[in-house]
Structure 1
Amino acid sequence: MRDAERPQADKVTLPLFPLQTVLLPGAVLPLHLFEPRYRQLMVDLLSGAVPERRFGIIGIKSAGVREVDSVDHLHPIGCTALLGESERLPDGRFDVVTHGERRFRLLDLDQTRAPYLIGTVEWVPDEPVPAGAEEATERLSASARSAYRRYAESAWEDETWPSPPPETPPAELGYLLAANCLLPLPDRQRLLEETHPLRRLRAVNKLLSREAGFLAALNAVPAPPPEVPHLTTRACLN
């Protein structure tokens, strides 16, 4: 569901899962949860104590932060995650799959209400695409898709890589094109924070063209940085 279709509220509260990665709307993020407080978060999500199986994923600014206790430790914009498939292991750990939904701006943290952090947040909608921008939208969408194809052809031998359907709205297209690509954390955070769909498409085109050039020159897929989970394995980030 898009931002414009959701009921708006000035402020809401969300359970938070700070990570050294960035979840984009529309992206899929698998997680392996072993820390007691995040096991409890999963229990609360699955039992309905936290409604709608939703929580917030937000990036930690520095890998040197061991314990988040201030909004200053976190990026200002995060993304809600919808809990999908889940498996509780015999020792109490969880393997889960989450799906990125909508952006929020973190306003405040509560460290006392639950074993995990609770954030006070406000939603971050996109700016509207100006009337009469159909030609620019079509051109930018085509350029971003072309950059994605070049990246995919360089990164993956299998030609069955996913591609967003033709009817994908421009507000969603930039996120979906970037979702499966191994972009550095700062680039993914900038895409998450960009509120204009056309500027986001332009940025995706530039970033994926850059990465495709690197891959073509190296003739190899670079290893993902430590803060970005490998896309074919469960992430262990808590």
Structure 2
Amino acid sequence: MVADTRPGTQRETLPLFPLQTVLLPGTPMPLHIFEPRYRQLTVDLITGTVPHRLFGIVAMRTPLVQEVDELDHVHTIGCAARLREAKRLPDGRYDLVASGTRRFLLHDVDATAAPYLMGTVTWLDDLPVPADAEDASWRLADLARAAHRRYCDVAWPDDGWRAPAADTDPVELAYRLAADCVLPLHDQQALLEERLPLRRLRTVCRLLNRESGFLSRLRAIPASLSEMDDGDGSATKPSLN
């Protein structure tokens, strides 16, 4: 991963949600909100107090941390999320749907500036794909799609999975394929941090082939979303507590 830390790069502030998961650009994430400070952030997102309904999701480095208040507690490459849907429940909790937009480099965190955690970030974009590599990118996309089919055929045989649209840009394809799959957090984070699109496609192809091989040999499949649901839908959603 190559981070742009050049002096003079414009910095911005974002509210932060530290989670035990990784949000990838272009992918949705359901969230179940029940702690008061995150309820307040939800209100601020809905009312426009937080501009553009944007907040940042960063993965925690260890589940042993109970309260994130230092930069070392989280991975410093995260993904901005835009609030798409919000449903207030009778007891004041919220069910949200957000979608990943743009990656950022996190420079510092502040637990005192607002009722919720704030971070100073600079935006992190891909490095350009060379003009003569366009054909290679589509060939890699075909290989990655084949790996995705193998994984889903083993992991979700009865769940009616669907492949990303045929015209999905290879630059974004790796994220869409990975979002369908149960990958360890460190693999998700590596995909998020990779700024070379062709290398990202190769990585997701390798990961999906590895995981489908594991599942085939173990004769096991990941739990389906319906099996993970505890009856009110909350078990399928990262919770902010």
Query: Could you tell me the TM-score, scaled by structure 1's length?
Result: 0.90
Q: Tell me by how many angstroms 1:176 deviates.
A: 0.6
Asked whether the 8 Å contact 1:12–1:120 carries over to 2, the reply is yes
Counterpart secondary structure, 1:132: helix
- In 1, are the aligned partners of 2:144 and 2:204 still within 8 Å (CA)? yes
Alignment TM-score, normalising by the size of structure 2: 0.89
Aligned to 2:123: 123
**Aligned-partner Cα distance in 2 for 1:158–1:102:** 33
Q: Which whole-Å CA distance do the structure 1 matches of 2:185 and 2:72 have between them? A: 17
Please list every run of 5 or more consecutive structure 2 residues that lacks an aligned counterpart in the other structure: 1-8
Q: Tell me, yes or no, if the aligned pair for 1:85 and 1:98 is still in contact at 8 Å.
A: yes
1:231 is displaced (CA, Å) by 11
How big is the shift at 1:159? 6.2
User: 2: distance between equivalents of 1:164 and 1:67?
Assistant: 37
Aligned to 2:239: 236
Q: 1:192–1:79: structure 2 CA closer, same or farther, 3 Å change rule?
A: same
Asked whether 1:82 is paired with 2:85, we answer: no
What letter is aligned with 2:78?
G
Contact 1:83 1:96 survives alignment (8 Å): yes
- 1-structure distance, mates of 2:235, 2:112: 36
Question: Is the partner of 2:239 in helix, strand or coil?
Answer: coil
Secondary structure of the 1:55 match is strand
Task: Give the C-alpha shift of residue 160 in structure 1.
Answer: 2.9
How far does the alpha carbon of each residue in 1:70-103 deviate from its partner, in whole angstroms, 9 at most, with x for none? Answer: 1111101000111111111111111111111110
1:114 paired residue number: 114
1:234 CA drift (Å):
2.6
Equivalent position amino acid for 1:214 in 2: F
**Aligned pairs for 1:195-206 within 5 A:** 195-206=195-206
Residue 5 of structure 1 corresponds to which residue in structure 2?
Answer: none
Partner residue of 1:58?
58
Q: Indicate how the Cα distance of structure 1 residues 14 and 37 shifts in structure 2: closer, same or farther if over 3 A, else same.
A: same
Q: Segments of 4+ in structure 1 off by > 4 A?
A: 229-232
Contact preservation (8 Å) 1:180, 1:231: no
More deviation in 63-72 or 154-163?
A: 154-163
- How far is 1:193 from its partner? 0.2
Amino acid aligned to 2:100: G
CA RMSD of aligned residues (A): 1.9
Unmatched 5+ stretches in structure 1 = 1-8
Q: Which residue of 1 aligns with 2:17?
A: 17
Specify the alignment match of 2:148 in structure 1. Answer: 148
Q: Which amino acid aligns with 2:125?
A: P
1:159 and 1:20 map into 2 onto residues whose CA distance is 25
Aligned-partner residue type, residue 10 of structure 1:
Q
Q: Aligned with 1:198: secondary structure?
A: helix
TM-superposed CA distance for 1:221, in Å, is 1.3
CA contact (8 A) 1:58 1:74 kept: yes
1:213-228 alignment, distance < 5 Å:
213-223=213-223
Task: Give the counterpart letter for 2:239 in structure 1.
Answer: C
Offset at residue 184 of structure 1 (A): 0.5
Would the aligned equivalents of 1:71 and 1:109 in 2 still touch at CA under 8 Å?
A: yes
1:222 Cα shift? Answer: 3.3
How much has 1:135 moved relative to structure 2?
A: 2.6
Q: Is the 2:61–2:75 contact (alpha carbons within 8 Å) kept by the matching residues of 1?
A: yes
C-alpha displacement of 1:22: 0.4
Q: Is the 8 A contact 2:14 2:118 kept in 1?
A: yes
- Matched residue type, 2:238: A
Q: Using the alignment, how far apart are the partners of 1:104 and 1:113 within structure 2?
A: 20
